[in-house]
Amino acid sequence: MVVNAAEQRRPVPASRRWVVGITGASGAPYGVKLCKELLAAGIHVHLVVSDAGWRVLKEELGWDASRRQEALASAFEGALQAGSMTYHPLNDIGASIASGSFRAEGMVIIPCSMGSLSAIANGASTNLLTRAADVMLKEGRPLLLVPRETPLSAIHLENMLKLARLGVRIIPAMPAFYNGPQTIEDIVAFLVGKVMDSMGIPHNLFKRWGESDE
Annotated binding site for dimethylallyl phosphate: 178, 194
**Residues contributing to the annotated binding site:** 24-26, 50, 113-116, 148, 178, 194
Distance CA 10, CA 65 (A): 31
Q: Give the list of residues 6+ apart from residue 8 with CB closer than 8 angstroms, or none.
A: none
User: Which residue spans within 15-155 are E strands per DSSP?
Assistant: 17-22, 44-49, 84-88, 106-112, 143-147
Instruction: Output the CA–CA distances (angstroms, integers) from residue 214 to 163, 178, 210, 211, in the order listed.
Output: 41, 18, 12, 9
**Residues contributing to the annotated binding site for FMN:** 24-26, 50, 113-116, 148
How far does Cα 160 stand from its chain's mean position? 17
